[in-house]
Structure formats: structure tokens, C-alpha cells
Structure 1
């Protein structure tokens, strides 16, 4: 049997860009203030126990901080929050500047205007190549059914 030809990362990105996904911001309450990052690779994983997963890049500087905190929020962005997605995708800057939020009952930052949010603790981590697969145990969650989600498809934003 012949070995498969390696898939170029640019081709992988182009082809998988045809899969529409939602956009979330992962947040946590750090000692020096809130921290967070934009993430496109989020999914429901299990109902019993209630688990979700997401995959931060290994190059992320925010994920190691959030991992050490151990609890985090998953904020499902609304269709009108493209600017929030862009702000939390930046490196180094104060990502929370100009972004309204409140702490959940467990203290994780919940961004104002999101269509849903989850309050989680880190369940486990797994190797995911150039990403880490993080699994969170959900302790609380809520949704606003009047808001449409922010969708990312083929390199640009859209609505659900």
C-alpha cells in the first residue's frame, strides 16, 4: 500500500473553510484582570457529563494563562459582534478595552451581547498537532434566543 501524499496546510485551510462555524471568545478572570481569545474550533462534546471542546493554537499566549486559572467562560458571539471577534484575535493589546462584560456567578467574564455563554472548568487537554484540544466541564450556561450567531465561512463573517 502506498503512503498518502501529505496535505499542504494552505489546501487544508481552503477546503475546510467551506465548513461554516460559529465564533466564540474564551475568557477567564486573571490576577491582573480578565483575559481572553477568539476561537473558531468550538463544539459540544458530551451531555453526560456536560462537556465542550475547543482548540487553541499552541502559539496562543492567552491559553496558558487561562489553563493555569482552571475556570473559563465560552462566549458565543452574536452576529453584530465582528468587532469583538477581531479585538480578541489580536495579540498583546488590552482585548477587553471598550468591551462590556459581567462576571458569572463563578467569576468568569461573560461578554455583553453574546447569544449564549457557558461557565466551565478545565476537564482535560489532549495533543492536537499545532493546536491543543481543551475539554471543559460545563457548570452553568444560558442563551438569548433573540440573537443570531456570528458565523465564519470561507474566510469571512456572516450570520446564521
Structure 2
């Protein structure tokens, strides 16, 4: 039997509890004035099929989101298992986040990470303040996917792969 651990209902306690819930890793990217900018999020949620909407969350402290928030189109790349380096680079506070990452362009400013499991292109529709984050709702305009690529999963504060069988 597994031991039940009580955590305080604060940021550290929630972080420890949330580490027990696996999530996918999504790159949110756009080219602003000829320079690609992007960040990695693990709080991505499909919201609606009609109209097609998705959401992701960004910390208020993000220095990248203010640059991306003005883009007419954003590119969301649902990362695959072999894209851990890209996820780490996009999550870094400093440095060239795209130095060793191949990308391709979409409509407007949208930028996508090559080799992802799926790509979603959309237009930011609204932002809602929620505690120390913004919830960004994106209206989907284009979707593409590749078969046979497993998603990159973040669980227990590290990247993992899915095991089938």
C-alpha cells in the first residue's frame, strides 16, 4: 500500500501534488520582427470543438509572453518524445532557444517545431488572469498531425515516454 502524504495548500505543496499528474509539453511560438520567440507549456487543454478553441497557461513572470501576445497567429507544437532538448531550450530563461531546433513557418507570425506530433495554428482570442498565471484562449485555424510519434510527457518533474502493452 502506498503512503498518503499531506502537503500544505501552498505553491510548494501544489507543485508536489501536480507532479503526480502527467501532461504533454507544448511549444508556443511566433516570429516577431524577424526573430523567433517561444516558450514551453505543460498546461494545454482542448476547450471546444465548435468553435475550435484550445487554452494554455503562462506565468505572469514570463519575459517571453509579452512578445508573443502581440502576434496575430501563434504556432503550437505538441512535442514528441525525441524533442526533450527543444523543450528544455524553450523553458530556459536565457540563451538562444532555437539554436539547435529546426522550425517551419505557418500563417502570419506562427512558427512550428519540426518533428512534433501535432501542430495547431491559431489566433489569440482572449486572456484571463488566474492567480499567478494568464489563461490564454486560442481560436484554432489550422491543424496537422503526424502518425506514429509518441508525445513528450512531463511527469514527476521530468520528461517521460509512454509504454504500451
TM-score relative to the length of structure 2: 0.90
CA contact (8 A) 2:74 2:110 kept: yes
**Structure 1 residue 30 corresponds to structure 2 residue 44:** no
SS of structure 2 residue aligned to 1:55? strand
Match of 1:45 in 2: 47
* Partner of residue 114, structure 1: 116
- Aligned with 1:59 (options 58, 61, 64): 61
What aligned pairs does 1:143-158 form with structure 2 within 5 A after superposition? Answer: 143-158=145-160
Q: Which moved more, 1:104-113 or 1:118-127?
A: 104-113
SS at match of 1:124: strand
3-state SS of 1:97 partner: coil
Number of the residue aligned with 1:95: 97
> For 1:26 and 1:33, how far apart are their aligned partners in 2?
14
1:67-125 alpha-carbon deviations (Å, 9 max, x no partner): 11232111100001111100000123111112111112444111111000100100100
Q: TM-score, normalised by structure 1?
A: 0.93
Distance 2:17 2:161 in 1: 20
Identify unmatched segments of 5+ residues in structure 2: 1-7
Deviation, 1:142, is 0.6
Give the structure 1 partner of residue 130 of structure 2.
128
Q: CA RMSD in A?
A: 1.2
- SS of 1:145's equivalent in the other structure is coil
CA distance in 2, matches of 1:36, 1:11: 28
Stretch deviating more after TM superposition (140-149 or 97-106): 97-106
> How far apart are the structure 2 equivalents of 1:141 and 1:89?
24
How many aligned residue pairs are there?
Answer: 155
- C-alpha separation in 2, matches of 1:134 and 1:70: 14
SS of 1:87 mapped into structure 2: helix
State the secondary structure of the residue aligned to 2:21: coil
Q: Is the CA contact 1:106–1:119 (under 8 Å) kept in the aligned structure 2?
A: no
